Amino acid sequence: MKNRTFYSLFALCLLMILPFSGRATDGYFSNGQGTRAKGFAGGGIAFLRTPFAAANNPAALSFIDSKWSFEVAVGLFNPNRKYTVNGLPTSSMQTFGLNPGTYESGSSFFVIPSLAIAYQLGEKNSLGFNFYGNGGMNTDYDTKTYYNDVQYQLFGGDANPQNPFAGISQPTGVNIQQLFLSLTYARQLGEKHSIGISPIFVYQTFEAGGLEAFRNFGMAGGPPRLDVPDRSAFVTGNGQSTSTGFGVRIGYQGEIIEGLRLGASFQPRIDMTPFDEYKGLFAEEGDFDIPMNWTAGVSYDINEDVTILFDVKQIYYSDVNSVGNPMIPANMLPGMFDAEGNFAPNPNFIPLGDENAAGFGWKDMTMFKVGAEFRQVEDWEFRFGYSYGEQPIPETEVLFNILAPAVNSHHLSLGFTRMIGDKALNFAVTHALANTVSGPNPFDPAQTVDLEMNQWEFELGFNF
């Protein structure tokens, strides 16, 4: 019976998770996996001992009491994103301005299911399976974002085949979806310590639209350059591209003294196959690897009814060129037209798709998470959490990050568990407070761009 239940839940999650992706996010990573972890704003690396906890710390499986344990959850994610362009575009053929105004991204609600299972294989060994989505890198602006009417007319409208602002499509946006499947083995060491390892399979998809300006202007535009590869057909509008990769996560969890627990996990960088249909957009010809990350934490039982915890999480976004490379305007122009219309090649030109080409310019992120759980009421657990991490987007990188405005720094969470016999109903709500990052348009000094985002996530889970 349990096997049939598992296969049914797996099929349901697979059908539901493929079209959607997104969670309350640390950059574009989920802030944590599992409903109970979300009640701690993604914390609990040293405390949680549930099937979902293995996605954060594989060693957690060793401390689950029952021989079989299933956990299923469904989340509703609501990211609210917008950008504002301040100032009129410069009337010059040597700049690249945007239409002024405030524009909001659509696609504001996502349903995200997840599934986990744990099995105790004897007294010391445990096996687990986790199926979950990741990613918060999605925008859908119903406008021509990288475009302005002034320069469209200045370049001669549609009559000029080299007009960089001709043929710009809408809507503008990107959508990256990530699906993780992990198998876990955990081994208990003595009574109170455990280590675990999780091989991981990752499947991701990507799609971009409305980015013709990066194909026709500045990046691969102007007269043909025989000295640089022409990837202009692989920048935008090529439908959905897929990528796969294999990785691993290792973890430790243990009780050092009565009531004091330590936990840690580490995931090396996951090498993904490139997005071939977008090898003219992402650095290294479409590469989009999963960056290295680690988490470490501590929990302490103040008494039998109250536990407090503290986690530190680090994500190395800057090590992945497509995410971390900065936008350097002087390197993005293939050349310039003089007053007489003559084209002079730029010797420092680095076209999109090259190893050192422009990316989103994200910095590494360090997150600090604190939380507490209260168990004074019989059959109930109440938890709260707070997370802070300096958002990854520098002020100099706002132009490209209109596509991925992950500017949140503060997360607040509340959650509860209601025990129903040997089963449990879990709930969590997380709010990422609104934040704004402002910076100059690097191609038009007359303009500034503001990026703003806030998020809500509600998740309901059931453990049986």
| Contact (CB, 8 A) for 237 and 206 | no
Q: Using alpha carbons only, give the angle 107, 111, 117 rounded to the nearest 5 degrees.
A: 150
Report the run of H or E that residue 323 belongs to, with start and end.
helix 321-324
Which amino acid type is present at position 367?
M
Tell whether domain 2-463 is in CATH 2.40.160.60.
yes
Tell me whether the omega of the peptide bond preceding residue 171 falls within 30 degrees of 0, making it cis: yes
Q: What is the pLDDT of residue 163?
A: 82
Q: Where are the beta strands (DSSP E) in 3-87?
A: 25-26, 29-30, 68-86
CA 274, 277, 280, 282 dihedral sign is negative
For the chain, domain boundaries: 2-463
Please tell me the total number of residues recorded for the chain in this structure: 464
**327 token code pair:** 């936008």
Give Cα 284 to chain centroid, integer Å.
20
- Nearest alpha-carbon partner for 293 in 241, 354, 356, 366: 366
Q: What is the pLDDT of residue 19?
A: 46
Give the global pTM: 0.92
Burial of 12 (0-12, 13-18, 19+ CB in 10 A): middle
CA distances from 50 to 18, 44, 46 (A): 25, 11, 12
**68 token code pair:** 């079989």
pLDDT tens column, 59-86: 999 999 889 999 999 999 999 999 999 9
Q: What is the pLDDT of residue 341?
A: 66
Q: What is the pLDDT of residue 13?
A: 47
**246 token code pair:** 């294999």
CA 443, 444, 448, 452 dihedral sign is negative
Which amino acid type is present at position 307?
T
b/e code 61-93 from CB counts within 10 Å (16+ = b): bbbbeeeebbbbbbbebebebbbebebebbeee
Q: What is the pLDDT of residue 135?
A: 61
Q: What is the pLDDT of residue 287?
A: 97
Q: Which residues of the chain have pLDDT under 70?
A: 1-24, 135-137, 216-225, 337-339, 341
Q: What is the pLDDT of residue 11?
A: 45
Q: What is the pLDDT of residue 93?
A: 77
Q: What is the pLDDT of residue 294?
A: 98
Tell me whether the omega of the peptide bond preceding residue 392 falls within 30 degrees of 0, making it cis: no
Report the run of H or E that residue 258 belongs to, with start and end.
none
pLDDT tens column, 428-454: 999 999 999 999 999 998 999 999 999
Q: What is the pLDDT of residue 216?
A: 64
